[in-house]
Structure 1
Amino acid sequence: MITFAPGPSKVYDKLPQYMQEAYQQGILSANHRSAVFMNLYQETETLMKEKLHLPEGYRLLFTSSATESWEIISQSIVQSSSYHIFSGSFGKKWFNYAKHIAPTSFAHIIAAEDTIDIEGLQIGENFDLIAITQNETSNATQVSNASIAAIANKYPEKMIAVDTTSSMAGIELDFKLVDIWYASVQKCFGLPAGLGVLLVSPKAIAKAKDKGETGRYNSLNFMLENAQTYQTHYTPNVFAIYLLKRVLQDMQEIQHVDRITRERMRKLEDAIANTTKFRLLIQNPEARSSTVLAVTGREEFISQIKKNAEKEGMQLGSGYGPLKPSSFRIANFPAITDQEMERLITFLKTY
């Protein structure tokens, strides 16, 4: 069964090889205070810079998941309150979580078909962090690098944090634009769930030190203190970090991955556009994700096509939340091969 679910999604075909290498090299038994682990951490951070074009001075930190970053950001970075811009369920969850720590945080909700009205954006002085859900997995929308750049240019004094859970390692992100980025590995990194990555700039590091929040399990200052010597604040998932390193080693530089991702998405979109029984959930191409495609139609037909796909050895992702009965989602992640995507497209064209 090939899964096209948008996370956890298909892992890279080379994963069994990576896993065997980890066992043979003793990675599974490596102490996280040892030189073996510190070298692994440093190599992984270097590869993030080489393959994803992470700027110099940005630090790679490991978390249990992208969700953990919600707490870290509000707890260790936000000094007053955060301003959340989102259109879907995961952006809303981030906002709701932030309110528990910074109660005066604000939700700026945009329609899924809309892009952010940056000219009309008015963010007061009481908000010291802007939270952007770059790729909203629930409704298959995204915010462009250009929009993020425009917001950063309009509010240079504010910290900006960006959720790229379903896009990091799948499209090229301009990391230098803002100071905090985070993701999980079970999507575009093509790995099993259980590891998150948090990327912070020198400016974000300075902001955390200025706030001075310490003493909690996942206090950012505590994490950064350990990262100085390429260690972690907790006993980490060394195995998952090794797998991340191997994926980064074998992947092309992100500009090449980005081109493939966008070309395949255009083929997928064309296949859906030429069917008679369903349509793209997001009609505005400026708002539509490059890594997750949502398709909508009559509820009884959506249910039937998912069953038909399973008979053909393909699992389509369900819609999310209120969209579940009337939509399905397709992951366009790098671990899915061109041949597998062509097989899905051929199936969709029969409708």
Structure 2
Amino acid sequence: MITFYPGPSKVYPQVADYAAEAIRTGLTSLNHRSPGFMEIVRETIHLLHQKLDIPADYHMAFVSSATECWEIVAQSLTAAGSTHPYTGAFGKKWMEYAHRIISPTSAPADTLCLVQNETSTGAQIPMDDLADYRQTFEGLIAVDAVSSMAGIRLDWQRADVWFASVQKCFGLPAGLAVLVYSPAALKRAQAIGERNHYNSLLFIHENFSAYQTPYTPNGLGIYCLMRVLQQVAPIAEIDARTRRRAADWYGFFDQGLPGAPGAFRPLINDSAKRSDTVIAIEGSETDIKALKLAAQQAGITLGNGYGDWKNTTFRIANFPAITDDEVDQLRRFLHTYRTGQ
């Protein structure tokens, strides 16, 4: 079965060997404050800086999920309140959750929360738009990059906090997230001084400064992340491949499927706002259901729609672990689906 589900998505096949290696060599039994485990954390952080081109002065930590990062931003980095312009279900959920922690007030927000790549709709915020936010917003900018980090090149300095779970573009099983934060974010955390939770950013930062974790972590996930980072190309190469494949997909659907022009079309009309990593395609509920069933029978799993678009869209993950050969197989299936050839 070939999967194009946008999360959890396809895992790099080498991860099975990495997991077995970690168990066989006893790495999964290391104390999380032992020198051996601290070296794994140190090397993983080094590789993230190197492979994703993250600025040297940006800090890094590993937590359980991007959803936990929503909590960290609200608890440790928001004083006056947060504002959440959103383009889909996950941006809305982040806003609702953050406002349960820090209630909105009439005072200007000091934290701007953006979903760079909205998995539910296949919409993204281009880096140029993020630069505009940077120029006009005076507070901290936090970016949920769950469906784009490690898949496209990010301009890190255009925001203060970035985070992503690893079950998408990193090509790993769920249960781990990468949190990246700037010196300005750390300064804000120090000014707020919030230390009430196990995942308070100051407590996390103190531990990761020594390549330790504040609690017993997903050691297997961190080790597999290190090994995947050792194998993947630098982000500039991955970015070029991701954008090429995305352009091909949008060109394919903009032209309409053979025998059914316009039956399936990109959900996002503005080509500049279309995601490079999650291709969301719209159609009638009947057509979408029939297509997904036929794909499943052909050994291909397409992503379901999400939220308000659950029954009228399907989604195609365009993540690095998915091979060009698998993309070609899906394209051939789509060509023959309507023509029967």
The one-letter amino acid of 1:247's match is: V
How far is the alpha carbon of 1:267 from its aligned partner? 1.6
Contact 2:80–2:107, Cα closer than 8 Å, also in 1: no
* Cα shift readout 1:189-230 (whole Å, capped 9, x = no counterpart): 000000011101111111101100002121111111111111
Q: How many angstroms apart in 1 are the aligned matches of 2:312 and 2:107?
A: 41
Is 1:66 matched with 2:48? no
Q: Can you give the 5+ residue segments of structure 2 that lack an aligned partner in the other structure?
A: none
Question: In the alignment, which of 334, 337, 341 is matched to residue 320 of structure 2?
Answer: 334
TM-score of the pair, normalised by structure 1: 0.92
Q: 2:312 aligned with 1:320, yes or no?
A: no
2:213 counterpart of 1:232: yes
Moved over 6 A (4+): none
Deviation by residue 1:252-289 (Cα, 9 ceiling, x = unmatched): 11011000001111121222223122111112111110
| CA displacement, residues 90-138 of structure 1 (integer Å, 9 cap, x when unaligned) | 0000000011111116xxxxxxxxxxxxxxxxxx962111111100000
Shift of 1:25: 2.7
Asked if residue 286 in structure 1 is aligned to residue 272 in structure 2, the reply is yes
Instruction: Work out whether 1:147 is the aligned partner of 2:129.
Output: yes
Q: Residue 79 of structure 1 contacts residue 128 of structure 1 at CA under 8 Å; is this kept in 2?
A: yes
Separation (CA, whole Å) in 2 of partners of 1:173 and 1:9: 21
Matched-pair contact (CA < 8 Å) for 1:279–1:295: yes
CA contact (8 A) 1:257 1:334 kept: yes
Aligned to 1:174: 155
Measure the CA separation in 2 of the matches of 1:326 and 1:273: 17
Counterpart check, 1:10 vs 2:3: no
- AA in 2 matched with 1:90: F
SS, match of residue 84 in structure 2: strand
Structure 1's unaligned 5+ residue stretches are 106-123
Partner secondary structure for residue 73 of structure 1: helix
Q: Does 1:81 pair with 2:81?
A: yes
The residue type paired with residue 214 of structure 2 is H
Determine the C-alpha separation between the residues in 2 that align with 1:130 and 1:164: 14
Counterpart Cα distance in 2 of 1:95 and 1:69: 13
Does residue 130 of structure 1 match 2:116?
no
The 5 Å alignment of 1:44-59 reads 44-59=44-59
Deviation at 1:141, TM superposition (A): 0.3
CA distance in structure 2 between the aligned counterparts of 1:126 and 1:294, rounded to whole angstroms: 34
Distance 1:141 1:81 in 2: 25
Q: Deviation of residue 177 (structure 1)? A: 1.6
Secondary structure of 1:60's counterpart equals: strand
Is 1:98 the equivalent of 2:98? yes
State the Cα RMSD in Å: 1.2
* 8 Å contact from structure 1 (residues 57, 202) kept in 2: yes
Deviates more, 1:194-203 or 1:88-97: 194-203
Check the 8 A contact 1:272/1:349 in 2, yes or no: no
Verify the 8 A CA contact 1:163 1:182 in the aligned structure 2: yes
Tell me which amino acid in the other structure corresponds to 1:153: Q
CA apart distance, 1:347 = 1.1
